Amino acid sequence: MNKILVIEDDLNILGLYESCLVQSHFRVVTAQNGQQALEVLDQQSVDLIITDIMMPEMDGYELSTLLRKTGDETPILMITAKNTFEDKKKGFRIGVDDYMVKPIDVNEMVLRVEALLRRAKLLQENERVIGSTILNQDTLTVLENGREIELTQKEFQLLYKLLAYPNKIFTRQQLMDEVWGYDSDSDERTVDVHVKRLRDKLAHNQDFQIVTVRGLGYKVVELNE
């Protein structure tokens, strides 16, 4: 069961987030500002952080900046009343992973938490081996029978996502959210373009195949099971 740290100085909102996450089967620890959050993190590890921006003592920007400077890569979902592009840009540039503007839909918050946790899990699994094909997350490289296949970052992330769950059908929208993020301006045709490029570059691969599921999306099928 994943553990979520929620940081919010409004106790009513804090209670709402905590209740929603607990109902969705997460463990939750709380803090009312960045300084309290650091004290929590000194005592225990968490899988994801949800933080407000405007808080006393240490705000969400300061906390996120400090965590990233110390090498902490825990996913951060920032929830705030600030709604300008500059506010969002500042958050993403200091290392925030996702951003929601109040008032939020708590059900959407849970979906974003789940997506961030899945993405973090993939990043922690540095290498994936399928037959004679090796994907290395650190170097963003694909080796096919010892031959290196050159992929763009998004192509690699898309392929890695599909291969992480063989035979699982992903809709185009799911792949957009997972690989490009909820705030991307790209549309679902982007997924089709990247899948076509992957098929071209991996045309001779004997270990797996990217299959189109008509009306739904895509899945990967391992050929040597």
Same domain, 27 and 52: yes
**pLDDT range class, residue 57, cuts 50, 70, 90:** confident
Same domain, yes or no: 63 and 98: yes
Question: How many residues does the structure list for the chain?
Answer: 225
The domain boundary, picked from 122, 139, 174, lies at 122
Q: Are residues 135 and 81 in the same domain?
A: no
| Alpha helices (runs of H) in 74-137, residue ranges in sequence order | 85-93, 106-124
Query: 98 with 152, same domain?
Result: no
In 3D space, the residue among 58, 3, 56, 6 whose CA is nearest the CA of residue 30 turns out to be 6
CATH number at residue 130: 1.10.10.10
The tens digit of pLDDT for each residue in 129-187 reads 888 899 887 788 899 888 899 899 899 989 998 988 888 899 998 898 888 876 666 77
Do 155 and 118 share a domain, yes or no? no
- 39 and 106 in a single domain? The answer is yes
Closest CA to 28 of 13, 46, 43, 12: 46
Q: Are residues 86 and 157 in the same domain?
A: no
The residue out of 87, 122, 157 marking a domain boundary is 122
> Looking at the structure, do residues 90 and 32 belong to the same domain, yes or no?
yes
The C-alpha atoms of residue 194 and residue 192 are separated, in whole angstroms, by 5
> Averaged over 94-104, what is the pLDDT?
89
Q: Which of 39, 40, 30 is nearest to 9 (CA)?
A: 30
pLDDT in tens, 82-97: 777 787 788 888 889 8
| Domain final position from 93, 122, 151 | 122
What's the domain count of the chain?
A: 2
- Range 22-33 average pLDDT: 94
113 and 142 part of one domain: no
Pair 144, 86 in one domain:
no
My answer on whether 79 and 163 are in the same domain is no
| Bridge partners, residue 52, by sequence | none
Q: How far is residue 194 from each of residues 176, 177, 182, 188, 202, measured CA to CA in Å?
A: 11, 15, 18, 10, 12
In angstroms, the CA 115 to CA 103 distance is: 20
Residue 16's domain spans which residues? Answer: 3-122
Q: Is residue 167 located within the same domain as residue 104?
A: no
Report which DSSP code applies to 150.
Answer: P
What is the CATH number for 65?
A: 3.40.50.2300
